[in-house]
Homo-oligomer: A and B are copies of this chain.
């Protein structure tokens, strides 16, 4: 009874983590070599390696060839934000999703957006503004710029029923992205669209997305008041 079925490497992982957290092995300490730990735990070195790799990935250990494995001095805590498709996020919370296209144009971008998209000075990009709502209440305002040279199919995409957010997730394979989170005061446009007072504090997510070769798109998502983003660590 008392099943306790975790794999061996996970048990070793937990034991080592406990030794770190109990300060039996203190930050900066060198811990035993893999071979020694393998003997202590009565397993193969590969099993130890698996456990220590996981701890290194989590930031608890720092490993270097020849230098050995040390307990990290600053166990940098990493939280994982999952970035969902807006539609899914709303529906998972039990609301009815609706989407409205506000503007859609191909035009030369403002200087700052052009720089972010890394497009030549005189080129044009597609600019889409849209509102996502949850059970009739405005949820998030999407301000989207798409680099058409980087993803040609987007030139003919129909954003009247499918949001750029969703279309891009499904049609643009990307490899890297950078996200910036901040708080901004509602301007006149935001206050109108998101049904709040001008100056109200709004949660803002700015995102730049690359594929292998170029910036695909820049998105500014401005959430309605009261939005909260959750994460575990």
Hey, which bits of chain A sit against chain B, CB under 8 A? 20-23, 74-85, 88, 169, 173, 175-185, 199-204, 223, 225-233
Contact = CB atoms under 8 A, between A and B. Distances in A.
A182 B225 CA distance: 9
Among A20, A180, A201, A229, which residue has the most Cβ atoms of chain B within 10 A? A201
25 contacts: A21-B173, A21-B175, A74-B88, A74-B169, A76-B84, A77-B82, A78-B80, A78-B82, A79-B81, A79-B82, A81-B231, A83-B233, A177-B232, A178-B233, A179-B230, A179-B231, A179-B233, A182-B227, A182-B228, A182-B229, A183-B202, A183-B223, A183-B225, A185-B200, A199-B199
Q: Which 9 A-B pairs have the closest CB atoms?
A: A183-B183, A21-B173, A201-B201, A183-B201, A183-B203, A79-B81, A185-B201, A181-B229, A177-B233
A230 B178 CA distance: 7
A62 to B, nearest CB: 15
Nearest to A202: B183
B200 A181 contact: no
Among A75, A85, A182, which residue has the most Cβ atoms of chain B within 10 A? A182
Contacts of A83: 76-79, 233
A175 B60 CA distance: 12
Contacts of A20: 173
Contacts of A85: 74
Given A23-B173, A76-B84, A179-B233, 19 more contacts: A20-B173, A21-B175, A22-B173, A74-B169, A76-B82, A78-B81, A78-B82, A176-B232, A178-B230, A180-B229, A180-B230, A181-B229, A181-B230, A182-B227, A182-B228, A183-B225, A184-B201, A199-B199, A200-B201
